[in-house]
Amino acid sequence: MPSVNGTTPVNGSTKFLDFHSAVETLNEYKSRDGLGIEDLIDTKQRGGLTYNDFLILPGYIGFPASEVVLDSPITKRITLKTPFVSSPMDTVTEHEMAIHMALQGGLGVIHHNCSPDAQADMVRKVKRYENGFIVDPVVISKETTVEEAKALKEKWGFGGFPVTESGKLGSKLLGIVTNRDLQFEDDLRQTVDKVMVTDLVTAQLGVTLPEANKILAKSRKGKLPIVDKDFNLVSMISRSDLTKNLHFPLASKLPDSKQLICAAAIGTRPEDKLRLKKLVEAGLDIVVLDSSQGNSMYQIEMIKWVKQEYPGLDVIGGNVVTREQAANLIAAGVDGLRIGMGSGSACITQEVMAVGRPQAAAVYSVSAFAAKFGVPCIADGGVQNVGHIVKGLALGASTVMMGGLLAGTTESPGTSFVSREGKLVKAYRGMGSIDAMQDKKAGAGSKNSQASNAGTARYFSEGDSVLVAQGVSGAVAHRGSIGKFVPYLAAGLKHSLQDCGMRSCKELHESALNGTLRFEVRTASAQLEGGVNMESYEKKLYA
C-alpha cells in the first residue's frame, strides 16, 4: 500500500463513486458523448460543413487493424476490396492508372478528353492485362512477319501470340511466338512460322481454370492454349496472370473472366453514344457520365438510353450535391452516384459560378437519400489526406474519388518536372481549366475540336464563343508509385477505423446511422491545435 499525503479534491469534490461502476454510470447521461451525424450535419444550425470542420470521436479498440475489412460497393452490382477511385481527368487516369488502381483493389475511371478510338484502346489494355481464360487472345497467322509481331507487342504491351492456320480464334493451332523468339531476330521480313515454338503443352476444352492453372504451373511454359478435339484454338491462359494473382490478392476482377474491372467516362452528347459503343466492344464494365452538374435533361436521357441499349453495363451518374438532383438520376436508373461540385483541388466552380455545396454537407445529404434506393455513392473531391477519406466514408459514401491526391503518382499521365523550388512535381489541371478545354486530342483532327472536348462538354461550354474557366492548371508534388501510395492510404484507413472501433466500412455506415459513431465540430482554433505546431519539421507520410 503506497503512502498518501491526504485526499485531493477532484473538481471540488472529495466524495467519489466506486470505480467499478464507471461503465454503468454512463447510463445516467441522456446521450453519448459528442454529436450524432444528423446533429453534426444540421445546415440550418451550422451551415455547410467541409471535411476540416469536424472530427470523428474514438471508439473501443478490440481488434487489430489488420482485421478491418474495406470492401465497399461502387455500383449496385460491383464491389471493390479497397474503396478508392481515381478521377476521369486527363492528368490523372489513363490505362496505366486504371490497371494499377484495379490491382490494388480500387478502380480507375479512364478520361474521355481523347478520341473514342484512343479511349477504347486504353480500355482494351486494362481488360487484357489480367485474365482467367483469355477468350479473345491476339492471334496471328503463319504468314505474319517478325516485324508485324513486334509491332503487336509494342501496341498491346505483351508478347506470346498463338499462331493458327487462318490467323483467327477457332482455327487449327500451329505454334506460339514468344518474346524470346522475337527478341534477337534481325530478319524482320521473315515469317513467324520460321521462329515460332511448336513444342506445345495444351489443355482440352472443358478444363476448369484451377485444373488449367495446375497444368500451366507444371509445364514451365508461358502460355497454355486451350484446344478442342480437332486442335482448334478456343482460348488461353497465361503464366503472368498466375503471378499477378499471387502479388495482388485484392485486385478488382470480374468473377467469370478474372479480368480487371474497367470504368471509363463519357459525356452526354449524341456523339457520346458512338463513343460508348466502342468502349463496350472493348470490354467496358462501368460507364461514368461525366458532368459538373448531372441534373440535366441530357444526362437523364443518356441514362435511360444506356440502360436500354446495354442492360449489363453499370451506369454512374453525377455530379450531384442535393437530394433533388439525385432523385432525378435515381429515377432514371443509375447504378451509382458521384457527389461533389466545386470541392476539387483544381476546381473553381464555387468561386466563379457561385453554385455548389460544401463537400461534407453534400455527401451526407445525397448518400443518405440514395441509400433508401440501394444506390452507392462516390464522394468526389475535397480529399487531401487519409482523414478526409475516412470522413467521406463516415458520412455515407461507399467509395472516395481522388484527383489531385493521385495526380502526382508515377502512373498518372501528367508530365514530371522540377519546380522553381527544386522539387520534383507533376503537371495537374482541372477539366474546367482553359488548358483542358482547349486541348484538341478529343477532336481527333475534326474542324470543331471544341465541340468534342471533354472539358467543354463537362461544363456545357461546347458552343461558347468565350470559354469561362471553372478549373485551374498547375502542379502537384510527386508521390511515387501507386504500388506504395495506395497501400499507404489503405493502411491509414484501416487504422482510422480501428480508432473508431469499426471493423468494416459497412459497420462504419451502420454505426453512423444508429448513433453509435459520434462526431465533434472543430472551431478554427481546434483546427490549428490539430495541426503541426513546430518551428520546423519534415512531413514524411509513409515508409
Question: HEC string of 102-146?
Answer: HHCCCEEEECCCCCHHHHHHHHHHHHHHCCCCECCCCCEECCCEH
Using DSSP, state whether 531 is helix, strand or coil.
coil
* CA-closest candidate to residue 153, choices 140, 142, 141, 166: 140
CA dist 388 and 496 (Å) reads 11
CA dist 97 and 109 (Å) reads 9
Query: In a 10 Å sphere around its CB, with 0-12 CB exposed, 13-18 middle and 19+ buried, how is residue 238 labelled?
Result: buried
Alpha helices by DSSP H, listed for 285-385, are 297-309, 323-332, 349-353, 359-370
Look up residue 504 and give its amino acid.
S
Pairing of strands 473-477, 519-521: unpaired
Measured on CA atoms in the order 517, 518, 523, 527, is the torsion positive or negative?
negative
Active-site residue, 32 included: no
CA dist 250 and 253 (Å) reads 9
Across-strand partners of 508? none
Task: Quote the longest CA-to-CA distance of the chain.
Answer: 99
Active-site residue, 347 included: yes
Rounded to an integer, what is the distance from CA 211 to the centroid of its chain? 32
Torsional class of 133: left (φ above 0), alpha (ψ -120 to 50), beta (otherwise): beta
Residue 455 neighbours by CB under 8 Å, 6+ apart: 113, 431, 432, 433, 436, 437, 439, 461, 471
Instruction: State the residue for C-alpha cell 451550422.
Output: 46
CA dist 221 and 242 (Å) reads 12
* CA-closest candidate to residue 531, choices 384, 400, 419, 428: 384
Query: Beta-carbon neighbour count of residue 29 at 10 Å?
Result: 8
275, 429, 458, 479: which one is catalytic?
458
Instruction: State the residue for C-alpha cell 477511385.
Output: 85
Instruction: State the residue for C-alpha cell 444528423.
Output: 38
Q: What is the DSSP letter of 464?
A: -
114, 128, 275, 347: which one is catalytic?
347
Q: Read off the C-alpha cell for 371.
A: 441509400
Do the beta carbons of residue 454 and residue 275 sit within 8 Å? no
CA dist 325 and 319 (Å) reads 9
Which residues are annotated as catalytic? 347, 458
